C-alpha cells in the first residue's frame, strides 16, 4: 500500500464546501492541497495552493491536476469517466474510477446494490413514458428520479398515478429515469465508512437525519437507535464499502420504514453533509478521516465522544441580500458557525451550517435550531 506522508500534495476533484473542509483538514495535517472546479470562486479556493478552473469532464485539466499531486480524491461524484481515467493514469485516484462510475448514476448504483444482495426498496429503471406509467401502476405511489446530476432533491418528481408518471417522465427530460416506490419512513439515517487500500476500516455510529423538501435540514449523532439496528446499519454499510473496494469514505444513506425494514437509499463516495457533526462529536472528523484513508495513514477513532448536532443554513436565510444575524446565533453556548465562503446566496443553496455539542443529542439539536431561529430578523 502506498503511503503519502504529510508534506505531500492532495488533489481534490470539486471545490465545494466538502472540498474546502477536506482541504482545511489536509492543511492541518501538513499536506498541500490543489483543487479542480468549474467555478473560479469555489469555496475550496481559499485553502488550495492551486485552483484549476475547468469542467468536470475535462480530461486534460484532470490530468494537469493529477500531475502535481501524490494522490487525488473527490468531493463530488459527477466527474466524467475520461477525466477519472486521466487522473488514474497520473496518480492514485481514491476511491478508484470504477467505484465512482458505479455510484454516479442512480440506475447503475441501484442495480449494483440489488445484484449484490443489499436491501433496497422497490424500483424500476425505465426509458419511455409508457414504461414509466407501467412502473407506477405496479409500484404504486413513487418518486421518479433523473439518474444523474440530481442532488438536494433536484431532478425528482413525486407521482401517484400512471398519468402523473408520464408527465414526470417528460418534465425530467425523458430518457432514462429510475422509478422508486414511495416508502413510508419511520426515520432516515446514514452511516459513514472509512476504508484504506489494505482493507483497514472504521465505521462511524449512525447519524439520524431530518430532511425538508428533499434537502437535509438537521442531523444528530448518536441518534438514540436500538443497539441491534445500529449494528445492522453499520454492518450493511461496511459490507457495501468492502464489496465496492472503496478507498476513502463511503456515506450510506438508509431508510428505516414504518414496517421495520432497513433499506439503502443511496451512496456517496465522499464526505457527506450528514456527518458535519463529526467535527464536534467525534475525535476524528470525516474530513481528517478522508485524508488519513486516502494517504494510507492509520485511521482515527470514530466512536462518539459527545452528542452533537448540525443544522443547515440555506440561502433563503439571506433575505434580499441582508446578512443573517450571526452574532445573535453565537450567543447560544457551544454553538459554532461554519460558513462556506459562497458569495451569492440563492434559495435552497447550502451556505453553511451550525453545530453544537451537549449532554444529549436532543439538547444539541435544540441549540442549533434555536441558534438558527436567532439568525432571522424576526
Ligand atoms: P441528497 O443529495 O441531499 O442526498 P438527493 O437529491 O440525492 O439528495 P435522495 O437522497 O434520493 O435525493 O432523496 C432526498 C430525500 O427525499 C430523502 O432523504 C428522503 O427524505 C426522500 N426520499 C427519496 N426517495 C424516497 C423514497 N423512495 N421514499 C420516501 N422518501 C424518499
Ligand atoms: Mg440523498
First to last CA, the chain: 55
User: Quick one: pLDDT at residue 313?
Assistant: 98
Find the 212 Cα to ligand 1 centroid distance in Å. 10
* 8 Å CB contact between 359 and 340: no
Backbone phi, psi, residue 264, to 5°: -80, 125
209 lines ligand 1 (CB under 6 A): no
Which residue has cell 439515517?
189
User: Quick one: pLDDT at residue 152?
Assistant: 77
Q: Which CATH class is domain 9-93?
A: alpha beta
152 lines ligand 1 (CB under 6 A): yes
User: Quick one: pLDDT at residue 224?
Assistant: 97
User: Quick one: pLDDT at residue 322?
Assistant: 84
Is 0.75 topped by the overall pTM? yes
The residue whose CB lies within 8 Å of the most ligand 1 atoms, and thus the one to mutate among 192, 214, 259, is 214
Which residue has cell 480530461?
59
User: Quick one: pLDDT at residue 378?
Assistant: 64
Of 104, 159, 105, 114, the closest CA to residue 137 belongs to 159
77 lines ligand 1 (CB under 6 A): no
Distance CA 372, CA 326 (A): 9
Q: Could you check whether 9-93 and 185-375 share the same CATH topology?
A: no
Q: Ligand 1, closest atom to CA 181?
A: 27
Residues 6+ apart with CB under 8 A from 344: none
Please state, as a whole number, how many other Cβ atoms lie within 10 Å of the Cβ of residue 231. 13
Answer CATH for 185-375 from 3.40.50.300, 3.40.50.150, 3.30.470.20, 3.40.50.20: 3.30.470.20
Find the 70 Cα to ligand 2 centroid distance in Å. 31
Domain 122-181: CATH superfamily is ATP-grasp fold, A domain (3.30.1490.20)
Distance CA 218, CA 309 (A): 7
Backbone phi, psi, residue 46, to 5°: -60, -20
Find the 15 Cα to ligand 1 centroid distance in Å. 23
Question: 364: which 3 cell numbers?
Answer: 444539541
User: Quick one: pLDDT at residue 377?
Assistant: 67
Structural domain boundaries of the chain?
9-93, 122-181, 185-375
Ranges under pLDDT 50 in the chain: none
User: Quick one: pLDDT at residue 153?
Assistant: 76
252 lines ligand 1 (CB under 6 A): no
Of 342, 367, 370, 344, the closest CA to residue 356 belongs to 367
User: Quick one: pLDDT at residue 2?
Assistant: 87
pLDDT tens, 65-123?
Answer: 999 999 999 999 999 999 999 999 999 999 999 999 999 999 999 999 999 999 999 99
Amino acid at each position: 500500500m502506498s503511503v503519502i506522508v504529510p508534506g505531500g500534495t492532495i488533489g481534490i476533484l470539486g471545490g465545494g464546501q466538502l472540498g474546502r473542509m477536506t482541504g482545511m483538514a489536509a492543511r492541518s495535517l501538513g499536506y498541500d492541497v490543489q483543487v479542480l472546479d468549474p467555478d473560479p470562486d469555489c469555496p475550496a479556493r481559499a485553502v488550495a495552493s492551486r485552483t484549476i478552473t475547468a469542467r468536470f469532464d475535462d480530461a486534460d485539466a484532470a490530468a494537469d491536476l493529477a500531475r502535481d499531486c501524490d494522490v487525488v480524491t473527490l468531493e463530488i461524484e459527477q466527474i466524467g469517466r475520461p477525466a477519472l481515467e486521466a487522473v488514474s493514469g497520473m496518480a492514485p485516484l481514491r476511491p478508484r474510477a470504477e467505484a465512482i462510475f458505479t455510484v454516479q448514476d442512480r440506475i447503475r448504483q441501484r442495480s449494483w446494490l440489488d445484484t449484490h444482495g443489499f436491501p433496497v426498496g422497490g424500483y424500476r429503471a425505465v426509458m419511455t413514458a409508457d414504461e414509466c406509467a407501467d412502473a407506477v401502476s405496479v409500484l404504486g405511489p413513487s418518486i421518479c428520479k433523473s439518474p444523474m446530476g440530481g442532488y438536494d432533491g433536484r431532478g425528482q418528481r413525486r407521482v401517484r398515478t400512471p398519468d402523473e408518471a408520464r408527465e414526470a417522465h417528460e418534465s425530467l427530460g425523458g430518457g432514462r429515469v429510475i422509478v422508486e416506490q414511495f416508502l413510508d419512513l419511520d426515520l432516515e439515517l446514514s452511516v459513514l465508512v472509512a476504508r484504506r487500500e489494505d482493507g483497514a476500516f472504521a465505521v462511524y455510529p449512525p447519524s439520524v437525519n431530518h430532511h425538508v423538501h428533499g434537502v437535509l435540514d438537521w442531523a444528530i449523532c448518536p441518534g438514540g437507535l436500538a443497539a441491534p439496528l445500529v449494528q445492522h446499519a453499520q454492518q450493511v454499510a461496511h459490507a457495501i464499502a468492502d464489496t465496492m473496494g472503496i478507498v476513502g469514505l463511503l456515506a450510506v444513506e438508509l431508510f428505516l420504514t414504518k414496517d421495520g425494514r432497513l433499506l439503502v437509499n443511496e451512496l456517496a463516495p465522499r464526505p457527506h453533509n450528514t456527518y458535519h457533526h463529526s467535527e464536534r462529536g467525534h475525535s476524528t472528523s470525516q474530513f481528517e478521516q478522508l485524508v488519513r484513508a486516502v494517504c494510507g495513514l492509520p485511521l482515527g477513532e470514530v466512536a462518539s465522544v459527545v452528542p452533537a448536532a448540525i443544522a443547515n443554513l440555506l440561502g433563503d436565510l439571506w433575505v434580499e441580500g441582508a446578512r443573517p444575524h450571526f452574532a445573535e446565533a453565537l450567543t447560544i453556548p457551544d454553538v459554532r458557525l461554519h460558513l462556506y465562503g459562497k458569495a451569492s446566496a440563492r434559495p435552497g443553496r447550502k451556505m453553511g451550517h451550525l453545530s453544537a455539542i451537549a449532554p444529549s443529542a436532543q439538547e444539541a439539536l435544540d441549540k442549533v435550531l434555536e441558534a438558527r431561529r436567532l439568525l432571522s430578523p424576526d
